[in-house]
Amino acid sequence: MGAKLRKSMPRAAQAEWTLPENRVDPIEILRQQGLTRISSLLSIRYDRMKVSPFTFLRGAAAVMAQDLAKAPVSGIRVQSCGDCHLANFGSYASPEGVPVFDINDFDETLDAPFEWDIKRLGTSLVLSGQESGLSPKAARQLVKTMSLAYTQQMARLAGMTPLQVWVDRIDLMAAISDFEDPKVKAKAEKLLSDRLDAAKGYFGLVSSDKSGPSLKEKPPLVMRLPDQEETIRLAFARYIATQPPERAILLKRYNLRDVIFKVVGIGSVGTFCAIGLFATADGETMLLQIKEAQTSVLEAGSPPSPFKNQGERVVTGQRIMQAVSDTFLGWTHSNASIGDDTPDMAGAGRQFYVRRVKDSRLAAIGTDVAQEGLEDYARLCGRTLARAHARSGNASMISGYLGKGAGFSDAMTEFSEAYAQQTETDWKNFVAALEHGRLAPE
């Protein structure tokens, strides 16, 4: 069935990128998105986005989603990451303490065409390669390497049972041992060892004195916002009250001791995000993060989420795509009705998901290694994305459409290079818009 789809949607047609007629101005898309964000934090978001075309791409998922919505597709759908760029892959420790490698950001996850994630990942590789000083030819090769790895991994998964696909995971240590560059391999092994040890210290966020543990401020990215503390505490309380009995037993052993606001990512800056410090009576601590979930940008070209709470959409997508998910994943909402679509600074009408605080330094091992070993990292991301897609999609059909040759990877390479050029143009216009005050908070 997948092979037959090549007739109605040739793989070569996947290479096409033409500026859509009546394309919405990317600046207007970002301005509208800013209306749902905390206005005092928008300057941080825009400062991060203006650094380079790659950082602009990271913050402009809504722009690319609208463009992809007008592009031809094969018709094969999967649970999509929705914001699939190379910095949204990373490592984290499983509940058993084993470091695994996977996609680690699902804010935009939705059922969507499988090609969309590959095209966004490919574009990010071209832009990152150029930013690292690679030649255009070398940057193109990164996309080919990634998409060939995706094709080969999907062919492997197509021969497995659904249960085997579901439990398949990528052990980070084993993945590093497969790196072809010995210097990159040695650096990755050392980084992994050092950061697994450092993760035991709660990322430097927790201090303790005679009164017990508390969270440290690190302005302007980690700070106390007293006006929002009650909203955070009530949302955490709702989360705990709605957990299944077996998890509730564990959570009852901890009390919420402290909360603090945290600015995260590039695309997420301005959304409501906080950390809760939970502690037992004898001072054992656990950090949970509560993060706002808004409507997925992929709804520009896909049916809306079936979930009333966008936090449930994020959690469900993560559980589908990740081989090993956080035990504490859950969702909650603020003190207004879930249907309220006019959130304000105090958090009214906002929807959230909850998870353990991830170690950003452990998660960044891949991107740190990528600075010297982008080709090894591109290959690893391609393998990882294929495994994530195969958990919800039909691996045999996808593999049949991809084939065994380089036709699909050639198309992805051509598209990614063309869209990277478009992103550079959009970035220049964005920088000019900032200089002229077009994105100033209203």
The answer on 178 and 275 residing in a single domain is no
Q: Say if residues 157 and 414 touch (Cβ distance below 8 Å).
A: no
Q: What is the DSSP letter of 257?
A: E
Helix (H) or strand (E) holding 223: strand 222-223
pLDDT in tens, 196-206: 666 555 667 88
Helical spans, DSSP H, in 105-171: 114-131, 136-158, 162-167
Indicate the residue among 336, 362, 388 that finishes a domain. 362
Distance CA 107, CA 129 (A): 25
User: Per the domain annotation, does 316 fall within a domain?
Assistant: yes
Distance CA 441, CA 434 (A): 11
Distance CA 183, CA 226 (A): 48
Q: How confident is the model at residue 340 (pLDDT cuts 50, 70, 90)?
A: very low
User: Per the domain annotation, does 49 fall within a domain?
Assistant: yes
User: Per the domain annotation, does 440 fall within a domain?
Assistant: no
Q: How confident is the model at residue 300 (pLDDT cuts 50, 70, 90)?
A: very high
User: Per the domain annotation, does 169 fall within a domain?
Assistant: yes
The answer on 346 and 214 residing in a single domain is yes
The answer on 140 and 250 residing in a single domain is no
Q: Identify the pLDDT of residue 203.
A: 63
Residue found by looking up tokens 């998890």 in the block: 247
The answer on 331 and 386 residing in a single domain is no
The answer on 427 and 283 residing in a single domain is no
150 forms bridges with which residues in the sheet?
none
The answer on 216 and 191 residing in a single domain is no
Indicate the residue among 362, 381, 398 that finishes a domain. 362
Question: Does pTM surpass 0.75?
Answer: yes
Residue 213 three-state SS: strand
What is the pLDDT averaged over residues 296-320?
96
Q: CA angle, 155 as apex, 149 and 159 as ends, to 5°?
A: 145
Residue found by looking up tokens 């294929």 in the block: 386
The answer on 330 and 425 residing in a single domain is no
Q: Say if residues 56 and 432 touch (Cβ distance below 8 Å).
A: no
Mean pLDDT of the chain: 89
Q: Identify the pLDDT of residue 96.
A: 74
User: Per the domain annotation, does 21 fall within a domain?
Assistant: yes
Closest by Cα among 349, 426, 388 to 123: 426
User: Per the domain annotation, does 442 fall within a domain?
Assistant: no
Max distance between CA atoms of the chain, in angstroms, equals 71
Q: Identify the pLDDT of residue 338.
A: 38
Domain count, the chain: 2
Q: Identify the pLDDT of residue 200.
A: 57
* CB hemisphere CA count around 99 (13 angstroms): 24
351 forms bridges with which residues in the sheet?
333
Q: Identify the pLDDT of residue 98.
A: 78
The answer on 179 and 40 residing in a single domain is yes
What is the pLDDT averaged over residues 152-166?
97
Choose between 272 and 93: higher pLDDT.
272
Q: Among 194-203, 316-325, 351-360, whose mean pLDDT is lowest? A: 194-203
User: Per the domain annotation, does 441 fall within a domain?
Assistant: no
Q: How confident is the model at residue 93 (pLDDT cuts 50, 70, 90)?
A: confident
Query: Is residue 230 pLDDT above 90, yes or no?
Result: no
Q: Identify the pLDDT of residue 27.
A: 97
Indicate the residue among 300, 330, 362 that finishes a domain. 362
Q: Identify the pLDDT of residue 199.
A: 58
Closest by Cα among 438, 437, 440, 426 to 49: 426
Kindly write down the DSSP assignment for every residue of 41-59, as one continuous string: GHHHHHHHHTT-HHHHHHH
The answer on 175 and 60 residing in a single domain is yes
Which structure tokens are listed for 101? 């490698």
Distance CA 356, CA 280 (A): 16
Query: Is residue 346 pLDDT above 60, yes or no?
Result: no
The answer on 352 and 235 residing in a single domain is yes
Domain membership of residue 144 as a residue range = 5-199+369-435
Residues 6+ apart with CB under 8 A from 305: 110, 295, 296, 299, 313
The answer on 345 and 260 residing in a single domain is yes
The answer on 402 and 355 residing in a single domain is no
User: Per the domain annotation, does 205 fall within a domain?
Assistant: no
